Amino acid sequence: MEIAVQLVIAGILQGGVYALAAFGLSLIFGVSDVLNLAHGEFLMLGGLFTFLLFSATGLNPFLIGLMMVPFAFCLGYIFDRLLMRPLAGKKEHIRLMSSILVTLGAALFIEDVTSFLAGAEEKGVDYTLPSFFWGDIFISYLRLLAVVMIAALTVGIHYYLKKTYTGRALRATTQNIRGAMLVGVDTHRIRSVTFGIGSGLASIAGVFYVVLLSISPDMGLGVTIKYLCIIVLGGLGSLIGSLVGGLILGLTESVVSYYTPHWGQTAAFLILVLILLIRPKGLFGK
Amino acid sequence: MNKKLIGFCLVFLMAVAIIGPDMVRAEEPKEIKIGATIALSGRFKGIVGTFDKLGDEWAGLVNERGGIYVKEYGKKLPIRFEVYDDASKPENARKFYEKMATDSSIAFFMGPFSSFISNAAITVAGKHQIPMQMVCGNDEVLFEKPNYWRVGSLVPAAEEWERLVPIYKKKGGVKTFATLAMDTLHNKGVIKGFEADLKKNGFEVVYSAIAPPPTKNFAPMITKLRKAKPDVVCIEALSLAFTIGFLKQMREAGFKPKEIIVGHVTKHVIDTLGPFAENITGLAYYIEGDTQDHKDFLEVTRRAGFTWGEFMESGIRYWAYTRIKQTIETAGTLDRKKIMDTMWNMKSKIMGLDNYVTKEGYGALGSYPCQVQGGKFVSIWPLEKALKMHKYRNP
Amino acid sequence: MNRIILGLVLVFFLIFPVFNMPYLNTFLIILFMYILLAESYDLLGGYTGYINMGHIAFFGIGAYTFGLLWNMGLALYLSFLAGTFAAVIFAILISFPFFRLRGAYFSLAAFALVKLMEHLTLNLSSITHGSDGLKVLEGNRMIPMYYLSLLLVIAVIAVSYLIMHSRLGLAMASIREEETIAFDFGVPVQRIKATAMVISASFAGLMGAFYTWYTIFINPSMVFGTDIALMPVAMAMLGGSGVIIGPVIGAVFLLIVEETLWTRFAYLHTAAYGLVILCVGLFMPGGLVRLGPLRRFLVRIGLFNEL
């Protein structure tokens, strides 16, 4: 019984970290309708700069992470402005193809330049908070922080989307881009803003990665693929979907890994494929 | 119409010229060239990416002393590496070895990193009959089929951890072991050998698991592992992300076994874990000593910008380079067949250790116990030294 | 005149091994393999508009099926056929559920499928030998592999040409442009998509079998890995999706770029490579083949066949 509780907790906590990174991707897809294969690079860069600044100054990595969010936002904004804007007007499957090419090329470029400048090895930050123990069950405060953070972000973004002008413009663009343009929304700017927000979220996830695990310049594509799969599971463009998707994946991995460690990842992908087959638009897709 | 034909021919010639093979020169060699591919990109980059610099520094050191003496020409010849990036993929390795095979000025091949890339490389060596000194590859698959043109540097994978067992046997204090291996050919082979060794010596393996390389969530495994109450936790993984992830989560779980053995410790693992890394036991292809080889090795790594503890595989590289040098000196010629014979039969000492090749082709370099002490990776072998210096993490 | 040039090119490739340049030979084998993968991907991706990022799954299934059966003693040619057949069966099986997905959902689900296959082959190690890898009988097969690959590439191009000028091709294009309307007009959409996928899969599967036969030693990440999965798709898109010669040009371009950069720059060649892909994606959205000058040139020599 104890074990079950531990597994569920571990699953939820892991899922929280997954959801954090997937959130940003979901937002970007919802608004721009492009597959961003470079998302993982922002995560990696967030983690990398946290590592570099932490090594240099010793400041609390989360503080560093928070300070970096504006930079990540700007980076994402510029990325969209330069690279994605020209693709906006094209036909749907040309846009999909071009976005794959452009973001893949960007990802390869960022990955290689980073590993050239910063070294290709694993980097990790040594920062711990004690775990909370309850009998034999342990809950890591760090992971709890991740879950709290994502809960806060969910509420925050929900509020943002409902109440602020930019937020509502964002939703409008997601629902009907022509309509949004008709009512005077600058859809190009909205897209760049969204990209910025998404990248900021990715960099926060990167901080968690570098503290809980480790990062390396070549991790980008691998995590991008995983998160793309999560948001597809949850339903493209749905924030709740990416949350739930992350949680489901985290739980599946957790439970299966206990019994047969090497089937953990397989089970997760299996569930993903099965859910998509049952609900072709993902769990909460439109 | 003529323009089209001309245009086509031009484009074709250009393409061929860009990738065309080297010209063949048949005359007295001015230098000794060693051809190799290294994973300068791709997933093995973090483990061996800096070794091209190491090779160049070693060649530089040898050339400072005039080069390698080749009796046939009665003089010393300088040595040079020709390195290509195989991007951690076997077909690329194969392609580049094929490219180098057409260059008759290449005296030797040096192997790539990892057994499965080496596998592709040795087929080329065998086909073109060029001597190949493998470096990082010691799994059975490479030695199953006899291949005259390749020899290895390392002892078989199953013997990699064998020197740890006597330490625990002599020292006492631990009875049960738990093992976790990353799901790759090499890691599994190593752990299987270790577990067999343990059982032979009266130890008990209470938990044994294999997990796929991209695993990030180790908490369930740690939960189960804990219940088995092992004294020693062993983790063998080529991927540092895997090792670091596991150890960090063990820390989170508050699980403190008496001893932790990590198969591939490097500076990055130590830095990432901070004080938690203290007294982690590991292995390196190096033991302390006073020979000229030692001085050379430390000098070369210093010039390349790192220490042997930061990249434990560097010891294997040095071994391979020295073998090549000794082979040429012993054979006295650059004739491929004679060199290859010498490769198999030569017996010498490198860094104070015996250097030879078994009849299947395995090398003689094994790994030696080390421990992280004071934030540094320290060699603790031979046995007497180990018994004095080794400390349990949580006695 | 054009025919003569094409004929010359063909003859050149056919007699190439005579020149005895093993490096170039190995390079060409890799080139043919990627051309085949890109071209067979485009049969589904370019013509029906369903971007199958999981195309490599067929390749991997063909590779493993061939290896396993040949090791068990099945005759060589039958093993090749079995590999193709396995990929075809797989394609039929997944066509039913997967074609209910659209656009990016389809692409990502297909990709997830590849990752699933990678993990399954890793874990079902009692059958597939998992991470130890599958080893088949050794042998030096560079020349036969060269010819087999070349023939397969010619075959896939020929088939593409036939499809393009047939009603099947027309139906596929209609699905790409407006699927619902095509359906309303009575086009048997599900059947056409499945057919496209099956043809696409058969070529990839056979190539997979050849690959195992040639490289002798395969493991899950070699045949189902992320990089080998994305490359053919990128090549087809980069060269020009929906045009027969598009994927060919894409594969040739990327491989030559990669090779030149690789041998010249030991570092940062991947970055340069990424930059090239990025620029093409940004500035030439229809692919290289639809670039003004190149397109006109190809049209004039009659090689621009677009669906």
The ipTM, to two decimals, is 0.85
Alpha helices in B229-335 (DSSP H): 240-252, 267-273, 292-304, 314-331
Cα A14 to Cα B217: distance, rounded to the nearest angstrom:
7
Beta-carbon separation of B188 and C123 below 8 A: no
**Chain A contact for B175 (CB, 8 A cutoff):** no
Query: Which residue type is seen at A193?
Result: V
Q: How far is CA C167 from CA C40, C176, C241, in A?
A: 19, 14, 19
Burial degree of A197 (CB within 10 A; 0-12, 13-18, 19+): buried
Asked if residue C9 has pLDDT above 90, the reply is: no
Band of pLDDT at residue B261, cut at 50, 70 and 90:
very high
Residue at token pair 């597809």 = A232
C168: left (phi over 0), alpha (psi -120 to 50) or beta: alpha
Mean pLDDT of chain B: 84
Q: Which chains touch B (3 or more CB pairs under 8 A)?
A: A, C
- List the 111-130 stretch of C: residues with Cβ below 8 A of B: 119, 122-123, 130
Q: What is the mean pLDDT of residues B183-208?
A: 91
Band of pLDDT at residue B205, cut at 50, 70 and 90:
very high
- List the 247-286 stretch of A: residues with Cβ below 8 A of C: 262-263, 265-266, 269-270, 272-273, 276-277, 280-282, 285
Torsion of CA B62, B66, B70, B75, to 10 degrees: 180
Supply the pLDDT for residue B3.
61
Asked if residue B49 has pLDDT above 70, the reply is: yes
Q: What is the mean pLDDT of residues B215-225?
A: 86
Asked if residue B171 has pLDDT above 90, the reply is: no
Supply the pLDDT for residue B22.
38
Supply the pLDDT for residue C56.
95
The pair of three-digit structure tokens given for residue B183, joined into one six-digit string:
């799901």
Q: What is the mean pLDDT of residues B127-137?
A: 87
- List the 266-305 stretch of C: residues with Cβ below 8 A of A: 267-271, 273-282, 285-286
Q: What is the mean pLDDT of residues C192-207?
A: 95
Measured between CA atoms, the residue of chain C closest to residue B53 is C266
Mean pLDDT of chain C: 88
Asked if residue B76 has pLDDT above 70, the reply is: yes
Alpha helices in chain A (DSSP H): 2-32, 39-57, 61-79, 92-118, 141-163, 165-175, 177-182, 187-212, 220-234, 239-259, 264-278
In chain C, what percentage of residues exceed pLDDT 90?
A: 40
**Chain B contact for C200 (CB, 8 A cutoff):** no
Q: Which residues of B touch A121 (CB under 8 A)?
A: 46, 240, 266, 268
Disruptive mutation site among C3, C10, C23 for chain B (greatest number of B CBs within 10 Å): C23
Lowest mean pLDDT across A195-199, B263-267, C154-158: B263-267
- List the 198-237 stretch of B: residues with Cβ below 8 A of A: 209-212, 214-221, 223-224, 226
Cα A264 to Cα C5: distance, rounded to the nearest angstrom:
55
Supply the pLDDT for residue B20.
47
Supply the pLDDT for residue B26.
43
Cα B23 to Cα C85: distance, rounded to the nearest angstrom:
45
A106: left (phi over 0), alpha (psi -120 to 50) or beta: alpha
Which tens digits make up the pLDDT trace of B361-374?
898 888 888 888 88
Q: What is the mean pLDDT of residues C236-259?
A: 89
Burial degree of A191 (CB within 10 A; 0-12, 13-18, 19+): buried
- List the 277-306 stretch of B: residues with Cβ below 8 A of C: none
Which of B338, B281, B346, B388 lies closest to B131 in space, CA to CA? B338
Measured between CA atoms, the residue of chain C closest to residue B8 is C5
Angle at B340 between CA B77 and CA B308, to 5 degrees: 65
Beta-carbon separation of C100 and A107 below 8 A: no
Residue at token pair 């919802």 = A30
Band of pLDDT at residue C252, cut at 50, 70 and 90:
very high
Lowest mean pLDDT across A41-45, B111-115, C4-8, C91-95: C4-8
Supply the pLDDT for residue B15.
60
Q: What is the mean pLDDT of residues C20-36?
A: 87
Beta-carbon separation of B52 and C22 below 8 A: no
The pair of three-digit structure tokens given for residue B374, joined into one six-digit string:
């004071």
Supply the pLDDT for residue C210.
95
DSSP letter for each residue of A189-251 = HHHHHHHHHHHHHHHHHHHHHHHHS-B-GGGHHHHHHHHHHHHHHH-TT-HHHHHHHHHHHHH
The pair of three-digit structure tokens given for residue B108, joined into one six-digit string:
């030797």
Supply the pLDDT for residue B332.
86
Supply the pLDDT for residue B21.
43
A262: which strand partners? none
CA distance B183 to chain C (A): 6
Q: Are C60 and C121 in contact (CB under 8 A)?
A: yes
Cα B116 to Cα C223: distance, rounded to the nearest angstrom:
13
Asked if residue B351 has pLDDT above 80, the reply is: yes
Give the other-Cβ count within 10 Å of B9's Cβ.
12
Q: What is the mean pLDDT of residues B135-148?
A: 85
Asked if residue C81 has pLDDT above 80, the reply is: yes
**Chain B contact for A255 (CB, 8 A cutoff):** yes
Supply the pLDDT for residue B23.
37
**Chain A contact for B9 (CB, 8 A cutoff):** no
Which of B356, B368, B383, B348 lies closest to B286 in space, CA to CA? B368
Q: What is the mean pLDDT of residues B15-38?
A: 64
Supply the pLDDT for residue C80.
94
Q: What's the predicted TM-score (pTM) here?
A: 0.87
Which of B82, B120, B86, B88 lies closest to B102 in space, CA to CA? B82
Q: Which residues contact C152 (CB under 8 A, 6 or more apart)?
A: C32, C36, C203, C206, C207, C210
Measured between CA atoms, the residue of chain C closest to residue B50 is C267
The pair of three-digit structure tokens given for residue C254, joined into one six-digit string:
């990327």
Asked if residue B190 has pLDDT above 80, the reply is: yes
Cα C270 to Cα C146: distance, rounded to the nearest angstrom:
27
Band of pLDDT at residue C147, cut at 50, 70 and 90:
very high
Q: Which residues contact C293 (CB under 8 A, 6 or more apart)?
A: none
Asked if residue A65 has pLDDT above 90, the reply is: no
Asked if residue B258 has pLDDT above 80, the reply is: yes
B136: which strand partners? B113
Q: Which residues of C touch A100 (CB under 8 A)?
A: 51, 233-234, 237, 281
Supply the pLDDT for residue B199.
92
Supply the pLDDT for residue B9.
62
Beta-carbon separation of C30 and B16 below 8 A: no
In chain A, what percentage of residues exceed pLDDT 90?
A: 9
Which of C277, C49, C40 lies closest to C149 in space, CA to CA? C40
Beta-carbon separation of A280 and C285 below 8 A: no
Residue at token pair 């496209």 = C196
CA distance A250 to chain B (A): 8
Supply the pLDDT for residue A279.
81
Which of C207, C256, C197 lies closest to C228 in space, CA to CA? C207
Band of pLDDT at residue B198, cut at 50, 70 and 90:
very high
